[in-house]
Amino acid sequence: MIPILRTAIGGLAIAGLLASAASAFDTSARAAFVLDQSTGTVLLAKNADEALPPASMSKLMTLYMAFEAIRDGRLKLDERLPVSSHAMSYGGSTMFLDTTDRVRVEDLLRGIIVLSGNDACAVIAEALSPDGTERGFAELMTRRAQQMGLTSSVFKNSNGWPAEGHVMSMRDLTLLSSHIIRDYPEFYKIFAEQRFEFDGRAPQNSTNRNPLLGLDIGADGLKTGHTSEAGYGLVGSAEQNGRRVIFSMTGMDTTRARAEEAEAVVNWAFRQFAEKQITTAGKTVAMAQVWNGAEDSVGLVTKEDVRLLLPTLTGAPLEAEVVYTGPLQAPIAEGAQLAELIIRPEGLPEHRVQLVAETAVARGGFVNRMLTVGRALAARVNAAPDGQAADTPATAETM
């Protein structure tokens, strides 16, 4: 059996970078998940997959499905939808709709995003439901969430009103937010709006509850949530210098604690981490041994530049290794996928990059093959105790 050969790249000398673990963020939230969307790096995960009551933060799923329906032509922004007695019956945060209203879809979207309108969610839900009921829409929400990979999400209604079994995880909320931002940028800009006055009927509910908006830290979304069971929560996002951070947290005791914790997360994520160049496309990362080739080894390179999010402070060398099944057999085509570069930043998830052949290596002639066999036999004899032949093949060579 041919083993997997691992070649350590000492301190990742290819890039000359140093990294150290950023100070872990000690959040008071019951559960939290922080994602650097630009690089896909998970910066923090605390009880991130625990299915918890999401309160109004689950309205993001209703919004996503509304955006989807608009893009598909099943809803129109200027379309006016009726308000049922069921939708009107909701309390909490509302647009104060009644059954005499026919409300534009665009106003309903703002009513959900800015005002957190429970009634507005129900109006959208009944319009898109397969059977015209909010319950039917909630079942559709659950199926769509599963299709999107939101594996810890189950919906019983459209707005997060307390209901047994209505749950989401912080990871799911963050991934859903990432979908909204990337899939529907034309609608995402609404999340930054701080005020919406609908028909002048609800002056006491006309401002966005997101405490990060207006702080000049790049925050532009997304949704707060609160029930007595869930506590205070927030799904937030901010962009600074081309980097976007998305996070979800829940279980804080007060609105003040939520605001302070959310701002602290944003500051920590942008100040303690920075995107850095690891290696450039075509630059030799390591050399791999070749069996029966016109050359004894081949350079391993990346197809594209590699940039990673790393802690901003310097410290221990960045650890990395090259892994491949070897020795490699000639002939080898230029650009053939041969190995994997595994980079392990301290305190962050490992990152894997495919490595390809820098040049082509032809199959060697008779003399080359005999020399290769001779060198291999000599290496085994020298490595074995008491002159016995060894069974372990030669390891790869590094730069």
Helix axes 170-183, 59-72, angle to 10 degrees: 30
Domains of the chain: 4-18+278-387 (2.60.410.10), 31-271 (3.40.710.10)
- The amino acid that residue 50 corresponds to is E
pLDDT at residue 338, rounded to an integer: 92
pLDDT in tens, 343-370: 888 778 888 999 999 999 998 754 455 5
Place of tokens 């995003």: 113
Decide if 283 is catalytic. Answer: no
pLDDT at residue 372, rounded to an integer: 55
What secondary structure does DSSP assign to 253-310, as a single string? SSHHHHHHHHHHHHHHHHHSEEEEEEE-TT---EEEEEESBSSSEEEEE-SS-EEEEE
Of 56, 129, 158, 169, the active-site residue reads 56
The token pair that represents 197 in the structure block = 């006055």
pLDDT in tens, 93-134: 999 999 999 999 999 999 999 999 999 999 999 999 999 999
What secondary structure does DSSP assign to 122-180, as a single string? HHHHHHH-SSSSHHHHHHHHHHHHHHTT-TT-B-SSSS----TT-BB-HHHHHHHHHHH
Helix (H) or strand (E) holding 85: helix 85-88
pLDDT at residue 389, rounded to an integer: 43
pTM of model > 0.95: no
- The amino acid that residue 365 corresponds to is G
The token pair that represents 331 in the structure block = 């002939």
As a whole number of angstroms, the longest Cα–Cα distance in the chain is: 97
- CA-wise closest residue to 58 among 196, 250, 241, 206: 250
CA distance 130 to 127: 9
Of 58, 84, 93, 116, the active-site residue reads 116
Q: Determine the Cα angle at 201 with ends 200 and 205, to 5°.
A: 95
pLDDT at residue 379, rounded to an integer: 52
- DSSP 3-state of 378: helix
Of 46, 59, 156, 223, the active-site residue reads 59
pLDDT at residue 6, rounded to an integer: 58
pLDDT at residue 307, rounded to an integer: 86
- Paired with 321 in beta bridges are 8, 342
What secondary structure does DSSP assign to 87-121, as a single string? HHT--SS-----TT-EEEHHHHHHHHHTT--HHHH
Decide if 56 is catalytic. Answer: yes
pLDDT tens, N- to C-terminus, the chain (399 residues): 344 555 555 444 433 444 444 557 889 999 999 999 988 999 999 999 999 999 999 999 999 999 999 999 999 999 999 999 999 999 999 999 999 999 999 999 999 999 999 999 999 999 999 999 999 999 999 999 999 999 999 999 999 999 999 999 999 999 999 999 999 999 999 999 999 998 877 677 889 999 999 999 999 999 999 999 999 999 999 999 999 999 999 999 999 999 999 999 999 999 999 888 888 999 998 899 898 888 889 999 999 998 888 888 756 677 888 998 878 889 999 999 999 999 888 778 888 999 999 999 998 754 455 555 555 555 555 655 554 444 433 333 333
Place of tokens 């000639």: 330
Helix (DSSP H) and strand (DSSP E) numbers for the chain:
9, 16
